[in-house]
Amino acid sequence: MARSPFYNAHHSPVGAFATLTLGATGARGGFGLELGAPANENLYIGFERDAEPGVIDALPFYDRAEADTSNFDSEFQHRHRENEWRFEAVSTAQRDLTAQVDSWQFGDMTVRIYTPAWELSDPPEEHQVLPAVYIDLTLDNMLGERERKWVFGFSNSHRAAGMRTYRDHELNGVMRGRDLMISTDDPEAWSAVCFDPRDAIEPEHRENLNSMLGELGVLVGRVGPQEARRVRIVVGFYREGIATSGIETRYHYLRHFKSLEEVTLSGFDHFERAVEACVEPPNDLTPDQAWMRAMAIRSYYGSTQLLETTDDPKARKLFWNVNEGEYRMMNTLDLTVDQAFYELRKNAWTTRNVLDLFAERYGYWDDVQVGEHRESGGISFAHDMGVMNQFSDPGRSSYERAGLTGCFSYMSYEELTNWVLSAAIVGISQPNWLFKHANLLRDALTSLQFRDAEHPEDRKGFMRRDGARCKGGAEITTYDSLDASLGQARANAYLAGKAFGTFLALRECFRVLGNEDLATQADAEAARTAAALEEYGTSGRIPALLGEPSDSWIIPVIEGLAYPLHLGLKNELETCFGGLLSLMKRHFDTVLQPGICKFADGGWKLSSTSDNSWLSKIYLCQWVARELWNTADPQADSAHVEWLLRDGYWCWSDQIVAGRVQGSKYYPRGVTSELWLTRSSQSE
Amino acid sequence: MARSPFYNAHHSPVGAFATLTLGATGARGGFGLELGAPANENLYIGFERDAEPGVIDALPFYDRAEADTSNFDSEFQHRHRENEWRFEAVSTAQRDLTAQVDSWQFGDMTVRIYTPAWELSDPPEEHQVLPAVYIDLTLDNMLGERERKWVFGFSNSHRAAGMRTYRDHELNGVMRGRDLMISTDDPEAWSAVCFDPRDAIEPEHRENLNSMLGELGVLVGRVGPQEARRVRIVVGFYREGIATSGIETRYHYLRHFKSLEEVTLSGFDHFERAVEACVEPPNDLTPDQAWMRAMAIRSYYGSTQLLETTDDPKARKLFWNVNEGEYRMMNTLDLTVDQAFYELRKNAWTTRNVLDLFAERYGYWDDVQVGEHRESGGISFAHDMGVMNQFSDPGRSSYERAGLTGCFSYMSYEELTNWVLSAAIVGISQPNWLFKHANLLRDALTSLQFRDAEHPEDRKGFMRRDGARCKGGAEITTYDSLDASLGQARANAYLAGKAFGTFLALRECFRVLGNEDLATQADAEAARTAAALEEYGTSGRIPALLGEPSDSWIIPVIEGLAYPLHLGLKNELETCFGGLLSLMKRHFDTVLQPGICKFADGGWKLSSTSDNSWLSKIYLCQWVARELWNTADPQADSAHVEWLLRDGYWCWSDQIVAGRVQGSKYYPRGVTSELWLTRSSQSE
């Protein structure tokens, strides 16, 4: 079955929170800076037809290709000269999308967009944080008899910033305000600001190209007869000044680039290096898996933001921030943990950087509520660090609220596991870093214990007491929009699985730190959790809620096994937790069935009682199942691809309700798919 | 006939290019920074009903007053608690609008918005450029038995910037990114960021007010039983960093205020002073005139921007910029001249500042085209200085293009008259300033002459040769969207009238400069123009085009008389140009008739052959007619008010096509109405 190539994907530099989104038909892509959604700009990318001069075959990324000047010239619109040029949107194209290259072929024309996913050194080098996207247009006109034009343009959606043409001895470009420039170093190209893309192509008077009215910025050039030409285009982004409040920071790349022009010039300097960096080593993913991984990595980088403090120019502290897609919460900790698998393979220091700021500013101590009174709880972490460039107050997230039992309630227990698990993933090989947080790790164990029960003899190894910040409400999990089967934290089997992983992760950390005492305690907690899961799973299936009424069955009860697997403990799991593992397998085999945890199309349904299924978590559970039981489910992969393509607007998205993108759109979390390239045995 | 109070008006600080626009029903107003249109935000301004607790009587400036969290919580929206509060949009209110105070009364509740139109000293003092709007809410609950709540809030339309609550020992507020803050110093108020305005009113848990999700920022407070309370609210705007390109500038107020918080604090310091400054002296305008003048002044300040250069912090140069409403062109010179009458009464240095930059950077020399060849022309000025915070290149406007005969063509001749006329208006009393431009004034006279004819004996005193920049096209006038009757520059009677005024203005300038030679030359040119107008007006009416085919009759042939009148030359006009004046009167009386230059509703129709009539120019011609012939036309004033109210969205707008706002929306030019307060005899 041929899939349409016309779906949106991010094309983003690393850490610039900037994107060229394109692929969907109509004005539904464009250049976005710090946005939680596509900019919805027209894009004009095309070449003059060989057989029909004056006709531009263009990718169908626009709503209109004619001028609208009616507010300037209300009575006499018709008096503008008829334009002999015509845009024709192509209806078919060959698209080949990897994580770093998006190639479009239509007729004899090729457009390639390069977004190298640089590995960041600490601190990064200039080219790694260059806020630019690299594009080339190639046209093989070797057999052509006539010169043919090419066009690359966009409509400006910025409410306040106008546009101007840019020219120096080598470049032609269009600048939008002080934050965006498209430009080419093709020596025969020109650029224009105009109302009508066709006006830029063959201006009667060249000086009119410098007019500044009109919402379009356009580059135009030519390819001669009997010529094959490659045109290089750099898209430069630039966000100057202080970008955030709460903590005042700016983009780190400002250290390297003093202006948008410098970004652009540097983009051409690094162009070929960037193209080379986009060649990826082969892997054994299926095409569906490879495509989802590529889409996920793109949406991840589209949300990343590398900042630095501005209070002391001599001591700028770096902050890595992953914005939460359409919601734009900053460094949401329940995403950090899922994304840590990816970052470990790229630049684990960014995750350690995030965890440091959580430790320094976003931890808090809280009691637990027991009926009407409070008892000791312990440390936890805020859900996030703020939203939309606003750092929240210390110890507070932008998201959590008191008095609720569903969406927007506290995630104290789960965020505590998330900090620990992330720390284990990116810290276990860095004893010095881990040592810095030794007390915190100890306090985390204590807090997990007290959030279970006060007295050791009452503990069952999972969350049983809600934090006092809930003020009578109840904690939730990251699955905030689902029913209790996955949404309720207390007694939740998913969270129990994660607790199991957390205790083992803590044990490994304590061993690295040489604290056998605490390691033994953590080990004992893991055994408690395993025992509890087995106790509630005597029927062969583990109910969604342990010891509370529930008719739900969930896949993510196995999710927590990802951590010991990833930490190289597969053998230990099999030898020491064989009972739990066979229960998990039985549970998994039983629930992964149509009518329970499978949709009719074969896609995975995380909870039997909810239609809201999250792809990032499906990927994670798929990996656990593959590593433990050698499963593969190409039919499900195909269904998951269809879910994303059915939408086609929001790039990679997470929350899919019965096959339709519904929430967590434009989202970074899908990089859990990176696990598909990881073998648990590798880490042993 | 009772007019609806629900129409948009600007509420703007001086020179901040910022506005609180409100008045139209629905989410069609809000906080705009550097915008060419309303921000389309919901505004929630109301008080709890006395008779019905829990019901908020609110001004109808919103589309919805309930939460929408469906993208967060797709399946379970319904599980959020039912809110006992309810917003009811009031359907009637008493509105009293002056240039500086907008008062709303509904029930026992009053809302007043103060925007002092400070006279700017050079350089301005802190309070004059404070980018703040002052609001008070008063509720007389002296006879009330119960406490009542008040609410002031808005929905954030900024695509990239989130919101946070702000608290210090005296203030409660909400900040949007780094550019907007609403706050109150009411000691019992609180503030919130939320999805639903009702959630802010009576939170079950106070800490939830600090949540940062939701697009609403809301202030809430209470008025006790048997209490009358006045609540003060400051809206602070702040645009930091470099604001413009081409020339790099920042907002001048950054010199005084280091942050948005400082703006807000200073706003409360200056609050009562601002309120007092809004009391206006009485005048003898009719209510219709007073209302139009108030609307015009508001739209003017909503477009103003006081900038300063950033290249040398020790020598910051001030730039005054008036943005062109919806088009946002910068310092459009054909507006500058119309607005100079207003600025002369406020702070004439700002107009001199604009003229200086035109002289320094935006003048150019050009030939005239005569058939296929070129002859000497002379100096002129670009139409504008750029658009949307982008200064254009030296000698170039953002607007003008070659090869056209209509909209977007060059306005060389008219802009030349505009610079001279503006200079006379604001410079004649400043000989030192005028002296700086003595050469330019001389060159202007020469250029006007050569744009008429090469040899003195061929000259007729008006424009007869198009500039070479037109490249075969034809120059236009400021009436760019009209037919040739007002749109064509060459041979145009409107422009001839303006040339007449320009020659007299030049003569006055040369006299001030002590150059009798040039004064005599200029005087002779004025006589030529007068003679030509009389020559073509032997029928008693002056055709729109002098010596070219035309079936049009236009009112603005009298427009140019405004300048000698304003320069105090009324007596001279009557004694030395009696023939011209009686022709003008006969023309005026003849054309200002239904079917010619009057619409059916009594409104003025500037050209008999166009339905596109411009209010700013109508005001100007009204003044000329009143000063010369003692006319008044209240029926027309009433029609003009109706034109603006029929729209009700775009505040004051200029281009009205058959009674409907069509172009030049949200426009600064209406301050020509200030002439209504000027007696030409006063300036004698």
Q: Are the Cβ atoms of A162 and B387 closer than 8 angstroms?
A: yes
Question: Which chain B residues have a beta carbon less than 8 Å from that of A240?
Answer: 241-242
Contact A245 B213 (CB under 8 A): no
Q: What is the mean pLDDT of residues A113-131?
A: 97
Q: What's the gap in Å between the CA of B213 and the closest CA on chain A?
A: 6
Instruction: Quote the ipTM score.
Output: 0.94
Q: How far is A188 from chain B (nearest CA, A)?
A: 22
Return the pLDDT at B84. Answer: 84
DSSP string, B112-125: EEE---PPPPSSPP
d(CA A569, CA A571): 6
Report the C-alpha gap between B299 and B37 in whole angstroms: 11
The helix/strand/coil state of B291 is helix
CB contact under 8 A, A246 and B164: yes
pLDDT-derived band at A296, boundaries 50, 70, 90: very high
- CA-nearest of A161, A159, A224 to A188 is A224
Both structure tokens of B516 = 């009798």
Alpha-carbon span B673 to B669, nearest angstrom: 9
- Reference A419, options A375, A466, A449, A384; nearest CA is A384
User: What's the pLDDT band for A558 if we cut at 50, 70, 90?
Assistant: very high
pLDDT digits (tens, 9 = 90+) for B331-375: 999 999 999 999 999 999 999 999 999 999 999 999 999 988 999
pLDDT at B680: 85
N-term to C-term CA, chain A: 40
- Residue A592 CB coordination number (10 Å): 19
**pLDDT tens digit sequence for B502-518:** 999 999 999 999 999 99
Closest chain A residue by Cα to residue B34 = A160
Question: Taking residues B155-174, what's their average pLDDT?
Answer: 95
Question: What are the tens digits of pLDDT across the range B370-394?
Answer: 988 999 999 999 999 999 999 999 9
**Can you name the residues that pair with B612 across neighbouring β-strands?**
B657
Residue B406's DSSP bridge partners are none
pLDDT at A65 over 90: no
Measured CA distances, B506 to A117, B455, B569, B575 (Å): 66, 20, 13, 19
Mean pLDDT to the nearest integer, A361-388: 96
Beta bridge partners of A139: A109, A229
The pTM assigned to this predicted structure is 0.95
CA distance A196 to chain B (A): 14
Give the percent of chain A with pLDDT over 90.
93
What's the CA gap between A23 and B510, in Å, rounded? 65
Task: Tell me the pLDDT band of B80, cut-offs 50, 70 and 90.
Answer: low
The structure tokens 């009433």 sit at B638
C-alpha–C-alpha distance, residues A582 and A591, integer Å: 14
Q: How far is CA B384 from CA A446, A584, B320, B329, B626, in A?
A: 69, 73, 13, 7, 31
pLDDT interval class at B1 (50, 70, 90): low
**Distance (Å, rounded) from C-alpha B171 to C-alpha A552?**
49
Q: Cβ contacts (< 8 Å) between A408 and chain B: which residues?
A: 72-73, 211, 213
- Contact yes or no for A162 and B386 at CB 8 A: yes
More confident residue, B66 or B599: B599
* Cα–Cα distance measured from residue B682 to residue A379, given in angstroms and rounded to the nearest whole number: 78
pLDDT score at B684: 39
Report which secondary-structure segment, H or E, holds B287: helix B287-302
Q: Which of A72, A209, A249, A326 to mutate to test the interface with B (most CBs of B within 10 A)?
A: A72
The pLDDT value given to residue A358: 98
* Count of CB atoms situated within 10 Å of the CB of A436: 14
From the candidates A21, A75, A202, A610, which should be mutated to test the interface with B, based on the most B CB atoms within 10 A?
A75
- The model's pLDDT over B464-490, given as tens digits with 9 standing for 90+, comes to 999 999 999 999 999 998 888 899 999
Shortest CA gap B241–chain A (Å): 6
- Please tell me the predicted confidence (pLDDT) of residue A71: 77
Residue A581, φ and ψ in degrees, nearest 5 = -65, -40
Average pLDDT over residues A511-532: 98
| Inter-chain touch A662–B162, beta carbons under 8 Å | no
**Cβ-based contacts of A389 with chain B (< 8 Å):** 160-162, 177
Percentage of chain A beyond pLDDT 70 is 98
**In sequence order, what are the residues at sequence separation of 6 or more whose Cβ sits closer than 8 angstroms to the Cβ of residue B199?**
B67, B83, B192, B208, B214
Encode pLDDT of B597-636 as tens digits.
999 999 999 999 999 999 999 999 999 999 999 999 999 9
Q: What are phi and psi of A367, to 5 degrees?
A: -75, 175
Q: Are strands B101-106 and B94-97 parallel, antiparallel or unpaired?
A: antiparallel
* Calpha distance A58→A44 (Å, rounded): 6
Please give the Cα distance from B570 to A88 (Å, whole number). 63
Tens digits of residue pLDDT in A419-467:
999 999 999 999 999 999 999 999 999 999 999 999 999 999 999 999 9
Cβ(A491)–Cβ(A463) below 8 Å: yes
* Distance between CA atoms of residues A325 and A664, nearest Å: 7
| Beta strands at A55-58 and A86-89: parallel, antiparallel or unpaired | parallel
Q: Looking at residue A67, what is its pLDDT?
A: 80
Residue B34: list chain A partners with CB under 8 A. 159-160
Q: Which of B51, B42, B92 is nearest to B198 (CA)?
A: B42
Residue A321's closest CA among A343, A334, A332, A305? A305
Q: B388 to chain A: which residues are within 8 Å by CB?
A: 160-163, 177
Statement: residue B584 has pLDDT above 70: yes
3-state secondary structure of B415: helix
Instruction: Give me the total of CB pairs closer than 8 Å, taking one residue from chain A and one from chain B.
Output: 202
Helix (H) or strand (E) holding A132: strand A132-141
pLDDT reading at A683 higher than 50: no
- The shortest C-alpha distance from B185 to chain A (Å) reads 22
Q: What are phi and psi of A256, to 5 degrees?
A: -95, -30
Residue A390 has its nearest CB partner, among B164, B207, B663, at B164
DSSP secondary structure string for all residues of A586-606: HHHHHHSSBTTTB-TTS-B-S
- CB atoms A75 and B163 under 8 Å: no
When the pLDDT of each residue in chain A is averaged and rounded to a whole number, the result is 95
Contacts of A203 in chain B (CB under 8 A): none
For residue A77, is pLDDT > 90? no
Substitution target from B21, B74, B168 for chain A, most A beta carbons within 10 A: B74
The dihedrals phi and psi of B62, each to the nearest 5 degrees, come to -150, 155
- Phi and psi of A346, rounded to 5°? -110, -75
List chain B residues with CB under 8 Å of A387.
162, 212-213
